[in-house]
Structure formats: C-alpha cells, structure tokens
Structure 1
C-alpha cells in the first residue's frame, strides 16, 4: 500500500480535493439531472467525481475494495465485504447541488473491522476540507496549511442542532425536547458532521434512512475531533453491513 496508516486521511483529502476541483465547474452549470432506480437524482458531477476517486484509490491503495454510491446504484452492493474497504460518496447532497445550494461534499472513508479509521470530506464551493490525522482532525481551505479542529463543550442555552431542510416543525420540536438543543440550522450533506467537528454546532440527530457512504467519512472526522456518532440506544455505529445493502439505522452525532 502506497500510503502509511498515519497519513491515509491526508491522502484521502488530496483525492477529495481533486474530485472537488472536477465537480465545482459543473455546479450551477445547468448540468443534466438523471433519476436513479431509487428515484434519487444523479448528475454528471457524481459520475465524473466517482471515476476520478476510484482511479486514485486504485493507484494509492491497490487491492483494497471500494463500495461507492454510484457504482452501487447501477450494479448493486456486494453480497459480502472483507474487514478493510473504502466507502465513497463522490457527491453527497446532490439535491443541494442541483438547487444551487453550497452544502454538498465529496467523501471517502477507510473502514477497518466495522469502524471508520480514516476519512476526508471536501466542500467544493468553499474549498474547505476536513480529514483525519494521527494527531486528531484537521482542516484546510483551498489547499492551504492544515489546522487542528475540535468539538466544543455543550453550550448550555445555545446548543445548535443541524437538521434536514425538509424536517417538519413538529418533528424539530420533538427532537429539541428529546435532545435538549436550543437552536437549529437546516443543512444538507455530510458537512453537518464537519461543522460539529470544528465546534460550529453541537448535535445532528438522524431519525431517518442513510447509506453507509453518506456517513462514514464525516463520522471519521467527527470522532477524530473528539465527538461521537452512536445508535439511538447509545451503541457503536458500525459499517460493512452487506447483508442490509449497506443501509444504516438511525443515529445521533454529537460534539462535546
């Protein structure tokens, strides 16, 4: 393997940034939107980004399997997977991308024994990239110097939850009562994990479906920054659920 375990996160960050540079010119360009079998949208940006990522991973990490969103939507997920593999979402937040909103991301995570041990998330419109490192979680902007990021302590009376744009008011109120947050901000994509990781928000309760590639890279960054992502019961949130088609259950992501 060309990259050591200590710098996998930084290597993945470089791949995410290369894909982001490819995707960004297609944003707000009137790119054609197709519909996948599950009725979700897909664009040329998703497809081109995934092709670039798969090429880079094959070169840097030969022999490590990859489960990737667009390939899975076209050919199905594998029936089984080994203990070490990559999860890739080349464009998380395709609906935001199509709307012209800036909250979409490029995501790569390395899974080992059911856990995300390295990951990177890049936000093409802002040039921000978050990634795991031996010393914790890091962030850089437009390829500049990387700086450490860390979750913040729960700010009593000012705790911010990140929620879906489509969440109904009654659902948001119920979640606020359940989790004790005071403010909420609607946001798309895995950038929610990164905002919590850098101390800009505090909690992301997800009472709804996701796929493993939607979550894994953000999970890796959040944990490296001192946060947690757990099941609603407080158990470990695991990956490699081939028997379930790599679908996730509900979860709660938290900062400090």
Structure 2
C-alpha cells in the first residue's frame, strides 16, 4: 500500500491547498483552541476535505487529525496502521501572512512513517514519497527526485522556530555544530533539508505527531534521519501520551 500511496497523498494535499490558499491573507477570523493555539476556517475546511478523501480511498485505515483531536480528543489506543493529518501546519505563519505553512498527510505503520506528502500552498510546492525516494513537484507539474546534501563543514544551516531565544540557539549550536541559522515555521523545515537547502532542524520543544509525520517520511526517503537527541528511533502511535512528541533532531547528510 505505502509504495504507491505518496502520490495519492500529494494529490489530496494539493486539493486541500487549493481550498485553503484563497483564505490566506483574507482577514479571516482566528479562533483559540483549548490550548490557546490558533485555528482558522482554513484549518477546518482543509481537514474536512482531507479526511473525506482518505476515508473514501482507504476506509479501513483510521485517521488521526489535528482539529478533530483538539475538539474531541485522541483515542486511547490505535492499531498498527493509521494516517496522521495536519491540514495547516504553521497556522501562526498563515495568520501573519508568512508563506511557510503546509498541508500534511503521513501514513504510520508499526510506529514508523512509511509514506507522506507535504504541500506548501503559498509557493505551489509539494514533496512526497514514492518507491523509497523523495519527490518534489510544482502543483500540476512533473515530479523530480530530491535528496539531502552532505554536511557542509563550516556552512551548515539549521532551521529553527521564530520564537527560539538566543540562549537556546547558542546551546543548540554547541550541541549540534551548525554554523548558520534561518527562522522558519511549519513542517516545510523537513522538506528544505530533504531537498538539500538546509542541514538540521533541532526541536527541543513540544510538537504533536501530526505536526511531523509527513515531513519525517519525506526526509527519510531523501536520505535524512529523524531521531531523538540521543540518536534513538523516533516512534509514532503514542496514544497514551495523547500523540505528543518528545524532543527530536532532523538531519540531512
């Protein structure tokens, strides 16, 4: 199932992106979820479309999606195969007019991301897994393979959150040995590393499984890794923890 799935997920992501994009910079109302994080009509409409498409195509595979989880909670247990969906990762970026927001679908099998697609609606870029490789296309265009670059000694680029303080940046620089940094929101960080435009994304802060699963799948297919800071395997399906993640580091070559 997972070998052919990436392109199908890319199509769904692009369909959701076409729905979401007209709402960008439209002055739409921003609501607050229970955890005070923002949600907009774009999140809700995008999620409804994605869940409907996945349910129609793969009726036997459960879907864990961000907005549904926020409103109704997550299941106490999950089987070995399920989808993780984030219809707008980087809602804060979306609200302030920044282009770095994404649509995300990842497939998990036995705790590992085996297929995924990430679409950046504002830049018309889509990354997805296909036959063990990572592919990139402009929506409607031909796909080409992408891969991570070797670690560029003296010029390694880290992608970090806009809100990261200087003290934290300095500590991470010492820990991971990067040279340059670029603030960036959303799962597009995984994709920039996957295509060889950056080298590392250290995340020592809270995330949810749907935030990272699709990007993780793409980055691994491009030759990169996502591990705990100690170098251990990064697992999915943490139902008892509400699908919350621990710290991780995403790296290229």
Identify the match of residue 157 of structure 2 among 144, 157, 160: 160
Aligned partners of 2:166 and 2:177: how far apart in 1?
A: 16
Aligned partners of 1:143 and 1:178: how far apart in 2?
A: 41
1:123 matched to 2:120? The reply is yes
Pick which of 168-177 and 102-111 moved more: 168-177
Partner of 2:233: 236
1:78 matched to 2:72? The reply is no
SS of equivalent residue, structure 1 residue 64:
coil
SS of equivalent residue, structure 2 residue 145:
strand
In structure 2, list runs of 5 or more residues that go unmatched: none
Identify the match of residue 206 of structure 1 among 203, 206, 228: 203
TM-score by structure 2 length? 0.99
In structure 1, list runs of 5 or more residues that go unmatched: none
For residue 5 of structure 1, report the CA deviation from its aligned partner.
Answer: 3.0
Partner of 1:39: 36
Identify the match of residue 249 of structure 2 among 225, 247, 252: 252
Query: How big is each residue's C-alpha offset from its partner over 1:144-174, in whole Å with a ceiling of 9 and x where there is no partner?
Result: 0000000000000000000000111111111
For residue 135 of structure 1, report the CA deviation from its aligned partner.
Answer: 4.1
SS of equivalent residue, structure 1 residue 247:
coil
TM-score by structure 1 length? 0.98
SS of equivalent residue, structure 2 residue 43:
helix
Aligned partners of 2:243 and 2:140: how far apart in 1?
A: 32
Partner of 2:129: 132
Q: Is the 8 A contact 2:127 2:136 kept in 1?
A: yes
